[in-house]
């Protein structure tokens, strides 16, 4: 049976989807973008956007009753591969070793024209 996970500490869904779904002992997040959930604002620059996106992801993970050290897999979508190094610096601050498995791909465009989006699979 699946359980919907929702929190006002991460951006609300902007379409017909849930912020996250729990199935068994796993949580699957939707893509999380760097929108400040309190103000709706998007910070400038890849480092600031990465910090906001990973903070939002952390808040969503914690709202599901688990923690960032239980993240198994992430997918990071970035608008510009030249931002990879800066995004990696911020990423490392949010995930303890051993780091989760990860894919990172450059995409043409993201919702609200943000610079990155992240999704995760997390163990409960």
Q: What residues are annotated to the active site? A: 104
List the Cα angle 80/58/6 in 5-degree steps. Answer: 105
Query: Coil, helix or strand for 13?
Result: coil
Q: Is the dihedral of CA 97, 82, 48, 53 positive or negative?
A: negative
Sheet holding 2-5, edge to edge: 2-5, 20-23, 26-29, 116-123, 71-78, 101-106
Helix (H) or strand (E) holding 117: strand 116-123
Q: Does residue 31 contact residue 40 with C-beta atoms inside 8 Å? A: no
């Amino acid at each position: 049976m699946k359980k919907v996970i929702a929190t006002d500490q991460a951006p609300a869904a902007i379409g017909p989807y849930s912020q996250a779904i729990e199935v068994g002992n796993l949580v699957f997040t939707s893509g999380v973008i760097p929108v400040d959930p309190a103000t709706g604002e998007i910070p400038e620059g890849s480092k600031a956007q990465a910090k906001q996106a990973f903070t939002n992801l952390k808040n969503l993970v914690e709202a599901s009753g688990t923690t960032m050290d239980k993240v198994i897999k992430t997918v990071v979508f970035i608008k510009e591969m030249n931002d990879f190094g800066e995004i990696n610096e911020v990423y490392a601050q949010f995930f303890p070793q051993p780091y989760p498995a990860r894919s990172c791909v450059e995409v043409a465009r993201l919702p609200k024209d943000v610079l990155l989006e992240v999704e995760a699979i997390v163990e409960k």
